[in-house]
A and B are shown apart, each in its own frame.
Chain A
């Protein structure tokens, strides 16, 4: 086995980068929907309005990271894509229903009548889909990294091939973990985007609760990995790489919680981003060089060189367009805390 870092590894790395971006940006948009569902107290409507303002201009662009992951997977690692798509057909299909309902309902709510009942109806679809979709995304990812997909390919019956890979407790623990993580990110971001102190406090409390949920569900998932995802358990507990990963994630989690407690919101956001980053990259590092664990490597599954080279060139050019475009987008809509209404509308 070739353990050097080579073109296929770089492309797999860019897939992780895209997934990372999806978690940080698209994930927070889903998390926003969760807080819409859980809006409560005297400022319930203001909370929902803040969420809608925060994700309105950006959710579609953020969502494309997921499409990039899929497209790169079937271009650069087509056999892996086929294996995942067969074994995880059911949770992926369910996740897609959630993706469709979340996006459509959010847009319908934005442009439909301002009447309360109409807004509530679309709002409910939007927020419930925002809750369910990250769970199913987590189930899919959890099943993929547990090693069950590779085992499913040789299973004797339909249950073993199409259901067993994702029905166990571990993928669902990852589902809960992903949901908590997205909700946590959203709450942390919203403390900065909130237009007044009262709303900021609302989301500070939510961020602290979500931080606890991330910690608890992360622990549950890790414990379940021992039985259900031995490959991951081994990587996360018994290797030297693991110490660094856990140390990074734990340190940034503690800093984020402390900063939230002391109301250093910018610090909290930076630390939360670091926390999610170390989780995503830590997982990727632990799994490397396997693409479909426990035994199929990035090199085994990669497309021919000609394809990989061309994709690498295409990505370089694409990112040259993408990075400045995203910079413009976020500069326009995220530079200042959003004024409560457009100055012109008032």
Chain B
């Protein structure tokens, strides 16, 4: 394994790991705040139980997200020092703002988790709201920095170096709005439908458990709207890619030859050497229409891109198919669940509960696939069209060692977190009457 590949693998592992926790850290506070608010409104202790159970899960996931995020902020320099030297002055600003958003999130999460009996109910709820807001803000700032790598603006190039830097303009890169909206919705969609899926699955075993019934409703309340909006926003985001990153779009669609009436390829296995796609379902004019609202529009193919500047077409195309397929399936199920909720028959529909349960991980897989599209699709560039990933990598030798070390560390942490969530939160059971007892209160003492 070359050092460049090891560095890319380490970055990919770190991002893939961190994103899961970051996403939950963005959306989970909304779930716990809604549950607490329902409890304060109705006095129904099951909602309190939900809020506490969810906040426990949030605490575990947030902590892992915080430390893996710290690793990433260093890895930008540890692995890509030349990139940071080039771009730090241009895109450091959103990272700085993210720092403050993260401060706010960590401070008020501490208050929320440990402050149940120390501050007034209204203040406690407000702390939860601040956690949710700052969580969204930190995600947005980080994605803005990534958006700039896809569509770099806000400076001029003189002799290959950026001058006349305008960091505000850089933050307003055209990729910023679609990417941040797409990612924020993804966080709510994946988390909402993921949590709904877990409780739907448990409801199959215990259909009368009011705990899971309420949990399912709150989770769907957050998950359904985001999941239904996501295809529209995804389409909008795709149109931006078509405009600013034609090579990425061509790889996503395995579109080798520039053409009008470009077909939309569903599925298939591209072969970059023969420039053909096996076993795909083609809809004539579909890609032209989706990319430019006109079935006869010309879509740039990979033939217009120098061969050495192609991303890995197979990886990007397949990842894109996975993301779109899972997103579409989730949107259909969200419609089904919304309809069942309106009919008031949500918990009686076993088949719906089964499908919701099976799709619980779908949103997270779709997010990982989507980031593969974004990042692998931009290769060989670290800054689109300007800096090659190969030129940005650190001169430190033996990068396979940190790659293996951090991968092992994250695998172990992943196992520990899964085990902990399962043992301490999911398997605890739905027994609402347990809460409100003395035992329940002592259990909330954090480290007694």
Measured in the bound complex, the distance between the Cα atoms of B56 and A332 in whole Å is: 20
B294, CB-defined interface residue at 8 Å: no
B43, CB-defined interface residue at 8 Å: no
**Given contacts A86-B396, A97-B409, A322-B103, is CB(A107)–CB(B96) below 8 Å?**
no
**Between-chain CB contacts (< 8 Å), 8 pairs:** A57-B115, A70-B74, A85-B77, A96-B74, A303-B88, A307-B167, A321-B103, A345-B444
Contacts of A103 in B (CB 8 A): 63-64, 66-67
Give A75's nearest chain B residue, CB to CB: B92
B280, CB-defined interface residue at 8 Å: no
Give which listed residue, A61, A83, A84, contacts B103 with CB less than 8 A: A61
Contact B119 A49 (CB under 8 A): no
Measured in the bound complex, the distance between the Cα atoms of B296 and A103 in whole Å is: 55
Contact B98 A60 (CB under 8 A): no
Contact A74 B84 (CB under 8 A): yes
Q: Which of A88-134 contact B (CB under 8 A)?
A: 89-90, 92-93, 96-97, 99-104, 106-113
Contacts of A109 in B (CB 8 A): 447
B351, CB-defined interface residue at 8 Å: no
B365, CB-defined interface residue at 8 Å: no
Of the candidate stretches B105-113, B263-271, B331-339, the one touching chain A is B105-113
Contact A111 B167 (CB under 8 A): no
Measured in the bound complex, the distance between the Cα atoms of B111 and A58 in whole Å is: 9
Contacts of B164 in A (CB 8 A): 306
Query: Most chain-B CB neighbours within 10 Å: which of A66, A82, A96, A162?
Result: A96
Contact B168 A64 (CB under 8 A): no
Interface contact tally, CB-CB below 8 A: 235
Q: Interface residue tally of chain A, by bracket?
A: 35 or more
A6, CB-defined interface residue at 8 Å: no
Contact A89 B394 (CB under 8 A): yes
Instruction: Mark A residues whose CB is within 8 Å of B.
Output: 49, 52-53, 56-58, 60-61, 63-64, 66-68, 70-72, 74-76, 78-79, 81-86, 89-90, 92-93, 96-97, 99-104, 106-113, 158, 161-162, 303-304, 306-307, 310-311, 314-315, 318, 321-322, 325-326, 328-329, 332-333, 341-345
**Given contacts A107-B63, A303-B89, A326-B107, is CB(A66)–CB(B78) below 8 Å?**
no
Q: Smallest CB–CB gap between A49 and chain B, Å? A: 6
Measured in the bound complex, the distance between the Cα atoms of B89 and A72 in whole Å is: 10
Contact A85 B96 (CB under 8 A): no
**Given contacts A104-B63, A162-B396, A310-B93, is CB(A111)–CB(B420) below 8 Å?**
yes
Indicate with 1 or 0, residue by residue over B97-127, a CB within 8 angstroms of chain A CB atoms: 1111011101111110111011100000000
